[in-house]
A and B are shown apart, each in its own frame.
Chain A
């Protein structure tokens, strides 16, 4: 099955710093998504990407759909304490005939005030 490698596994940064995390896949995806999960909550969708090369922003978040369709990155600029949480990438390949998402294992972000 499809595998997603997400890195880094965890990050400790100072408030105000920029953050970058990425995901790579063993095969292509048609859609890349980035979710954030707070403790005790379900993941919340941050950004959805639908086209290879697409660069999309949502406030301080920017994500890109890699041109090879096998990778994506998420950047967070000027981090603040409420950015703390676990960030997951997820991909979908419509050719598989299924609507399930494949998830990375997450990047745990800690922000030091």
Chain B
């Protein structure tokens, strides 16, 4: 597609429920990143996928967070047993091969945990 797309745009869930957030990167982009943005804060790195290599999970805040990327394209970020502190905007970005610095962001998913 023309840009990075994410779904849903908004998600309200109850504490303790699991949620799945989806990211569809720009066609041809081999690198995909997930970031979290809390209110009034900058972006916090969560996880990075590059082609078929093992993902860099160094930013995941707890084992309740996981992500997968199927077929080198679409990615799903899963948060299990959601907590109120998980409320944030979750942003996905992608970059073209060899140009990982210039990351193009999707519009984000705003997650609210009640």
Query: Residue-by-residue, is B71-114 near A (CB-CB < 8 Å gives 1, otherwise 0)?
Result: 00000000000000000000101010000111111111000000
Partner of A99, one of B41, B50, B107: B50
Question: Could you tell me the distance between the alpha carbons of A90 and B105 in the complex, rounded to whole angstroms?
Answer: 13
B42 touches A98 (CB 8 A): no
Question: Could you tell me the distance between the alpha carbons of A92 and B100 in the complex, rounded to whole angstroms?
Answer: 10
Q: List 13 A-B contacts (CB under 8 A).
A: A42-B93, A42-B108, A45-B103, A45-B104, A92-B101, A98-B48, A98-B58, A100-B33, A101-B101, A103-B42, A105-B41, A105-B42, A106-B40
- Is A88 positioned at the interface, with any CB of B under 8 Å from its CB? yes
Which chain A residues have a beta carbon within 8 Å of chain B's beta carbons?
4, 6, 31, 33, 35, 40-45, 48, 50, 88, 90, 92, 98-106
A40 touches B43 (CB 8 A): no
Specify which chain B residues have a CB less than 8 angstroms from the CB of A102 in the assembled complex. 45
B42 touches A88 (CB 8 A): yes
Known contacts A42-B108, A44-B105, A45-B103; is A101 also within 8 Å of B91 by CB? no
